[in-house]
Amino acid sequence: MRLSVAVRSLCEFAARRGDLDLRFTPSPSAQEGMAGHTAVAERRGSDYESEIPLSGEHGALTVRGRADGYDAQARQLEEIKTYRGRLQAMGDNQRALHRAQLLVYGHLLCQARGLQRLTLALVYVEVDTLAETVLAEEGEAQALAAHFAGLCDAYLAWAQRQAAHRRRRDHALAAMAFPFGALRAGQRSLAVAIFRTVRDRQALLAQAPTGIGKTLGSLFPALKACAAQGLDKVYFLAAKAPGRALALHALERLALGADLRVTELRAREQACLHPDKACHGESCPLACGFYDRLPQARDTLEAQGDFSQAALAPVAAAHGICPYFFNQEMLRWADVVVGDYNYYYDATALLYQLAQAGQWRVAVLVDEAHNLVERARAMYSASLSRRALEEAWQGAPKPLRRPLDSVRRAWRAMAGKQQGGYAVLDAAPPGVLAALQKLVSEVAEHQALGGTPPATQAAWLSFYFEALRWTRLAEVHGPHSLIELQCDDKDQQLGLHNVVPASFLAARHAAAHASVLFSGTLSPAPFYRDTLGLPPATRTLQVAAPFSPEQLRVRIAGQVSTRYRHRQASVAPIGAIIARQYGEQPGNYLAFLSSFAYLEQVADWVARHHPQIPLWRQTPAMDEAARAAFLDRFAEAGAGVGFAVLGGAFSEGVDLPGRRLIGAFIATLGLPQVNPRNEAMRRLMAQRIGAEAAYEHIYLFPGLRKVVQAAGRVIRDEADQGCVHLIDDRYHWSKVRRLLPQWWQLDPDTSGIPPDAGS
């Protein structure tokens, strides 16, 4: 069986040595890298060849790649690398990797053109100045062939074991049975749609109700399709930790053991054992000699066949290497990767970059995909503040105060034209943008961190990274985003706020073999398709709820307005509805309000007028222990009312089956606040899709999504019974009711308000 590998992947596996070194070296963007390559090619003669496809063989291994440039007259092969700042600051391991790639290309070119010797040149291009540093050496064909053979030998044994694992994996997946016998009705329709989507290399938006088993119902068909479609990996992406935990649990249920390698990507803060150290060998002991010890650690974990965090951490500890970066190395050979959205969709997303570099065929599963709208907007937004700028100036090394002074002057000139409040700017303020770009360049040139842990320079470093992010987004600013200036007595904010992330996400969807986005609330589908950059031919699926209307009694209290101007008058009627329902059927309930202040008002009213009802309240900034204590109050044999904020920690991702929750009160439409930013977003959308649709996109759809998610806490399986009270007159509006689940049967008794509500 023949195996194939890219030159870069071969060298990354077999040629890296020394320390892990993530010392402060701001990397060029993809556009800057291309500009550097173009600049070098334009300086060469007319006979200069660029992007030369090369390949060679060693035993059962074929190595392929593209050499950057070759001057036939001078017999000089060039490998072009772009960087920012001082070349001396580049880690030795990185430069050794670059040289290894050059030597491999040298061998492949000698072999292809019958050369006995040639000049090998590493051409380093500083992206801000486009200045070249050329490191040249002479290469003999025989020595280059020996170097190539050594790398291939080191890689081939590993690659053959991975190929054997792949065959075992595909055989196990083909024979895999669903762990619970038969799929549920809704779960089956979801699974069939996902299998066909992966088979046909398409995209799917699937709305499936809570309780049908979406996690297992998505993983099972995607894995089944792996063998037939030749997939390399499945990415399961979830916005929150509970969703990722459910995925890991579902994968354990499949009981495939070492035949399916599953790993979870965790945030650095969770995995780092030395948070007070910088990520390089002079500071952190787990970075020192990382690449020297990596091969043995890699072999150990592979022999175990378990890529979980529980297995990975002890192996990393035994070999004295960083568990966080060891995990990133090993995910290259995992079959399923579970992680947060940002690992694939962010501008610098690791999983996307690795998939592109390795040309992997990946099925991407996005859990609770309604969350991706706001998360993606945040990924492609940035904000700078005047206060942070001043703190950065105070903490910056002296050589960097001059460019920071330039930013301060440009900022004052910009803010002086603003009379206060909120304003949308037509473009990035040119003076501020130029000063920020100069700052980015000079910080990189200065390489100010050296061997100092970043924590000692947190203020200016934090400002620098946000400035770098801001300038990069400003360079691609378009009608998908707002540039906004917010001024008040305390601070000034210069924001670049994304509204429609479609143009940024489209490339991610296109790169995937298949993209499957699923949630209990993905209506209307065109909104999610167009906002999230899915292709026009994206398939849609609405899975019928496995529940009967008789299981959930939905009542509309249409005589109450929860609008802000009616807030005070609504407190007593809402409290009375809660008390009446609890009196008729004692048990556990959740009451959702639009804010903490509103929550306190209603909870206080209930406590005063009905002290016999046990109640507990969500509070701002609850930690994990406090959230767990809140949920523990919902005992199977318990009774009382938990008050929570709609859209908060308890309105989605919470599983309280059976008698743990028998009803919910939702006293709000959940509409986002009418404020200057949301109004600016609405106006931007109106230019694209019209005024009425813009209102729905910015206000109505996000609000009703939260309502449906919160109501979904009540009925979790076919045996559950419960009720939901929708408290607001606007629930009678047709444009609101069409966004409610079709299986809900609204109670004809629409008042829900007892005669003595105001007493």
pLDDT tens by residue, 17-76: 999 988 756 677 778 889 999 999 999 988 899 999 999 999 999 999 999 999 999 999
3 state DSSP class of 724: strand
Measured from the Cβ of residue 426, the count of other Cβ atoms closer than 10 Å reads 6
Longest dimension (CA), the chain: 99
Measured from the Cβ of residue 53, the count of other Cβ atoms closer than 10 Å reads 10
What tokens does 625 get?
Answer: 């222990």
What is the rounded (10 degree) CA torsion for 290, 296, 302, 303? -150
User: Is residue 130 one of the residues assigned to a domain?
Assistant: yes
What does the alpha-carbon distance between residue 735 and residue 739 come to, in Å, rounded to a whole number?
A: 7
Q: Which run of H or E residues covers position 597?
A: helix 596-609
What does the alpha-carbon distance between residue 192 and residue 83 come to, in Å, rounded to a whole number?
A: 48
Opening angle at CA 572, ends 606 and 651, nearest 5: 65
pLDDT in tens, 501-560: 999 999 999 999 999 999 999 989 999 999 999 999 999 999 988 888 889 999 999 999
* Helix 185-199, helix 214-229: angle, nearest 10: 30
User: Is residue 165 one of the residues assigned to a domain?
Assistant: no
Q: Which run of H or E residues covers position 605?
A: helix 596-609
DSSP annotation of 700 reads I
238 close to 247: Cβ distance less than 8 angstroms:
yes
DSSP annotation of 483 reads E
User: Is residue 687 one of the residues assigned to a domain?
Assistant: yes
| Residues 364 and 511 occupy one common structural domain | yes
Minimal CA–CA distance to 199: which of 168, 175, 171, 228? 228
180: CB partners within 8 A, 6+ apart: none
740: CB partners within 8 A, 6+ apart: 704, 707, 708
What does the alpha-carbon distance between residue 237 and residue 505 come to, in Å, rounded to a whole number?
A: 14
Cis amide linkage into residue 524, ω under 30° from 0? yes
User: What are the φ and ψ backbone dihedral angles of 439, each rounded to 5 degrees?
Assistant: -60, -45
| Structural domain boundaries, residue 516 | 179-378+502-542
What does the alpha-carbon distance between residue 739 and residue 701 come to, in Å, rounded to a whole number?
A: 8
Asked if the model's pLDDT at residue 430 lies above 70, the reply is: yes
Calculate mean pLDDT across residues 369-395: 95
User: 15-24, 106-115, 408-417, 658-667: lowest mean pLDDT where?
Assistant: 15-24
Give the torsion sign (CA, 30, 36, 42, 46). Answer: negative
| Residues 528 and 651 occupy one common structural domain | no
| Residues 721 and 742 occupy one common structural domain | yes
DSSP annotation of 27 reads P
Asked if the model's pLDDT at residue 129 lies above 90, the reply is: no
Calculate mean pLDDT across residues 363-374: 97
pLDDT value at position 758? 43
364 close to 235: Cβ distance less than 8 angstroms:
yes
| Measured CA distances, 526 to 140, 209, 508, 534, 641 (Å) | 60, 19, 19, 10, 37
User: Is residue 389 one of the residues assigned to a domain?
Assistant: yes
Q: Which residue has the tokens 């100036």?
A: 393
User: Is residue 174 one of the residues assigned to a domain?
Assistant: no
What does the alpha-carbon distance between residue 323 and residue 304 come to, in Å, rounded to a whole number?
A: 16
| Residues 362 and 474 occupy one common structural domain | no
Residue 701: CATH number of its domain: 3.40.50.300
Residue 84: CATH number of its domain: 3.90.320.10
> Mean pLDDT in the chain?
92
| Residues 24 and 152 occupy one common structural domain | yes
Q: What is the gyration radius of the CA atoms in the chain, in angstroms?
A: 29
pLDDT in tens, 607-620: 999 999 999 999 99
Opening angle at CA 511, ends 67 and 200, nearest 5: 125
Minimal CA–CA distance to 364: which of 231, 516, 506, 228? 516
Minimal CA–CA distance to 35: which of 83, 91, 88? 83
| Residues 282 and 350 occupy one common structural domain | yes
How many residues belong to the chain?
759
User: What are the φ and ψ backbone dihedral angles of 289, each rounded to 5 degrees?
Assistant: 70, 20
pLDDT value at position 753? 53
| Residues 520 and 492 occupy one common structural domain | no
DSSP annotation of 370 reads G
Domain boundary among 122, 156, 190: 156
* Helix 430-446, helix 401-416: angle, nearest 10: 170
3 state DSSP class of 733: coil
32 close to 127: Cβ distance less than 8 angstroms:
yes
pLDDT value at position 756? 45
Name the band, by pLDDT with cuts 50, 70 and 90, for residue 280: confident
| Residues 223 and 281 occupy one common structural domain | yes
User: Is residue 168 one of the residues assigned to a domain?
Assistant: no
Q: Are strands 382-385 and 492-498 parallel, antiparallel or unpaired?
A: antiparallel
210: CB partners within 8 A, 6+ apart: 520, 712, 713, 715, 716
| Residues 93 and 185 occupy one common structural domain | no
pLDDT value at position 273? 92
pLDDT in tens, 431-475: 999 999 999 888 877 654 443 434 456 788 889 999 999 999 999
pLDDT value at position 321? 97
Calculate mean pLDDT across residues 663-680: 96
Minimal CA–CA distance to 247: which of 167, 340, 184, 323? 340
Minimal CA–CA distance to 557: which of 759, 753, 755? 753
CB hemisphere CA count around 467 (13 angstroms)? 30
What tokens does 5 get?
Answer: 């590998």
Residue 418: CATH number of its domain: 1.10.275.40
Strand partners, 381: none
| Residues 609 and 657 occupy one common structural domain | yes
Q: Supply the pTM of this predicted model.
A: 0.90
| Residues 394 and 370 occupy one common structural domain | no
3 state DSSP class of 356: helix
What tokens does 235 get?
Answer: 């990415």
pLDDT in tens, 684-723: 999 999 999 999 999 999 999 999 999 999 988 778 899 9
CB hemisphere CA count around 731 (13 angstroms)? 29
Domains of the chain: total: 4
| Residues 521 and 608 occupy one common structural domain | no
What tokens does 25 get?
Answer: 């070296």
User: Is residue 171 one of the residues assigned to a domain?
Assistant: no
176: CB partners within 8 A, 6+ apart: 220, 223, 224, 254, 256
pLDDT value at position 449? 44
User: Is residue 757 one of the residues assigned to a domain?
Assistant: no
